[in-house]
Amino acid sequence: MTQPERYIPYGRQTISEEDIQAVVETLRSDWLTQGPAVERFERVVSDYCGAQYGVAVNSATSALHIACLAAGLGAGDTLWTSPNTFVASANCALYCGAKVDFVDIDPRTYNMSIDALREKLVKAEQAGCLPKVVIPVHFAGQSCEMEQIGELAGKYGFTVIEDASHAIGGEYQGVKVGSCRYSQMTAFSFHPVKIVTTGEGGMVATNSKNLMEKLLRLRSHGITRDPALMDRASHGGWYYQQIELGFNYRMTDIQAALGVSQMARVDEFVASRNRIAQRYNKELAGLPLILPWQAPDAASALHLYPVCIDPNRTHLTRKSIFEALRDAGIGVNVHYIPVHTQPYYRNLGFIEGMFPESERYYAAALSLPIFHGLDEASQDYVINQLKVAFT
280 near ligand PLP, rule: CB under 6 A: no
Options 37, 88, 328, 382; binder of ligand PLP; rule CB under 6 A: 88
The DSSP output letter for 130 is -
- Under a CB-based contact definition with an 8 Å cutoff, are residues 120 and 149 in contact? no
Tell me the C-alpha distance between 19 and 103, whole Å. 40
CB of 324 to ligand PLP, least distance (A): 26
Partnered with residue 133 across adjacent β-strands are: 79, 159
Tell me which stretch binds ligand PLP (CB under 6 A): 82-90, 256-264, 280-288, 309-317: 82-90
Tell me how far apart the 2 most distant CA atoms of the chain are, in Å: 77
- Which of 163, 149, 132 minimizes the C-alpha distance to 63? 163
137 near ligand PLP, rule: CB under 6 A: yes
34 near ligand PLP, rule: CB under 6 A: no
Tell me which stretch binds ligand PLP (CB under 6 A): 29-37, 80-88, 262-270, 309-317: 80-88
Sheet strands side by side (includes 133-135): 53-57, 202-206, 185-189, 159-163, 133-135, 78-81, 99-102
SS3 50: coil
- Under a CB-based contact definition with an 8 Å cutoff, are residues 251 and 34 in contact? yes
197 near ligand PLP, rule: CB under 6 A: no
CB of 112 to ligand PLP, least distance (A): 12
Q: Which amino acid is at 101?
A: D
163 near ligand PLP, rule: CB under 6 A: yes
- Which of 167, 92, 164 minimizes the C-alpha distance to 133? 92
CB of 306 to ligand PLP, least distance (A): 12
CB of 67 to ligand PLP, least distance (A): 11
CB of 92 to ligand PLP, least distance (A): 9
Residues 6+ apart with CB under 8 A from 211: 70, 71, 184, 185
13 near ligand PLP, rule: CB under 6 A: no
Options 65, 99, 120, 191; binder of ligand PLP; rule CB under 6 A: 191
204 near ligand PLP, rule: CB under 6 A: no
Options 183, 189, 198, 206; binder of ligand PLP; rule CB under 6 A: 189
Which residues here bind ligand PLP, judged by CB under 6 A? 59-61, 85-86, 88-89, 137, 163, 165-166, 189, 191, 202
